[in-house]
Amino acid sequence: MQPMTGAPPVPGGAVALDAWRELDRRTRRELLRGGRPHPDPAIAVVAVGYARTMLARSAMRQRLPLTAAMAALVMTLAVLFALLDSNDTVIISTGVFNVLPAVLVVPFVVAARLRLRNRIVALHRMEAVNAARLWSTERTAPVPDRPLPQPPPSGAGPSHQVVIRYSRRFLLRSIAIFVAFVAVIETAVVWAEGGVLALFVTALLAVAVGLTVYNVVARTRPWLPMVIMDRAGMELPSMGARLAWAQITELRIHPYRAGRSGRKGRHHAVAFVLADPEAFRVQLAGWWAKKTRTPLSVYGTPLVIADLALDRSAEQIAGAAAMFTTAPIRRFGP
């Protein structure tokens, strides 16, 4: 399937939403579930426009249905418990009575967030696969804010490297926000409730903190370089994997939409399209292999590097790769 030679106009905003509604339900369902581009370019354009319109919405607006449903559930529980308390109805003990709202709300929130996440993943996949079908190959210009790595000097040996690292500023800010969030939640619960509910929330926070620290320290290992590029290929120290340039057939730059950053277009992701994705995945440990399932489903490749937490932009990463490989580079997105 050859890409089209030009970029057809992609609808946006209300026009994209109206065009999406005009499609029959079966077509919409197939577009969201499928991992292949639609054969009709007109429908593929509508799918891209609708996905971009929905993904461009702010994080607050995307979570609005979840927030409304959760508020309705909490209010219903509050009214029910108030009625039971006013009637002096003793059905369960006081300790369990205090914990019951959290026990009922938490599973609902988890299920709703998973549904929202699956919806966002489906929109990303629909945009990626149909955009790749529509656009022809084009070279991208480097962003002017930070200089690209300089090309190897003439006669440079195979030891010349380009190292992409995690941003210290991003890591420190993330740690500070996480610690502050945990402290505020714990303090508020202990001050307001205490007793069984405080113990329940404390246990949940302890598990969340433990899992987060384990993922960062034992798995992500942010003190290591994210990517090391040289003439032989790419090394990913955290993943424990290496790729030869011959295994990379194409580089695609996509908008990275994570909350506010995606809407403002500040961050992007580089998808390294591989000739044999499974040959790369067999190098990975169990956790990393599972982590590659989502990018493989969305972008058609297990290796996608977002510049959100890195010291280089996505275009600078692609520009560095272009010094060592002749694989084409394409950029997607508004």
Q: What is the pLDDT of residues 89-101, one digit of tens each?
A: 544 444 445 555 5
**What is the rounded end-to-end Cα distance, in angstroms, of the chain?**
23
Distance, CA of 261 to CA of 172 (rounded, Å): 18
Q: Is 285 a residue whose pLDDT tops 60?
A: yes
Element (H, E) at 17: helix 13-22
3-state secondary structure 70-116: HHHHHHHHHHHHHHHHHCCCCCCCHHHHHHHHHHHHHHHHHHHHHHH
* 37 vs 3 pLDDT, higher one: 37
In the beta sheet, which residues pair with residue 227? 164
User: What are the Cα distances from residue 230, in Å, to 110, 157, 248, 281?
Assistant: 43, 10, 14, 21
Q: What are phi and psi of 186, to 5 degrees?
A: -65, -45
pLDDT of residue 6: 47
Q: Is 207 helix (H, G, I), strand (E, B) or coil?
A: helix
What is the side-by-side strand order in the sheet with 248-255? 303-306, 268-274, 248-255, 329-331
- pLDDT band at 171, cuts 50/70/90? confident
Cβ contact 105:73 at 8 Å: yes
pLDDT tens for each residue of 232-274: 999 999 888 999 999 999 998 888 775 444 445 578 889 999 9
**CB neighbours of 142 closer than 8 A, spacing ≥ 6?**
148, 315, 316, 319
Element (H, E) at 273: strand 268-274
pLDDT of residue 144: 41
The residue type found at 151 is: P
Give the DSSP letter of residue 245. G
Average pLDDT over residues 148-172: 67
Residue 269: Cβ within 10 Å count: 22
Q: What are phi and psi of 269, to 5 degrees?
A: -130, 145
pLDDT tens for each residue of 14-34: 888 888 888 888 888 888 887
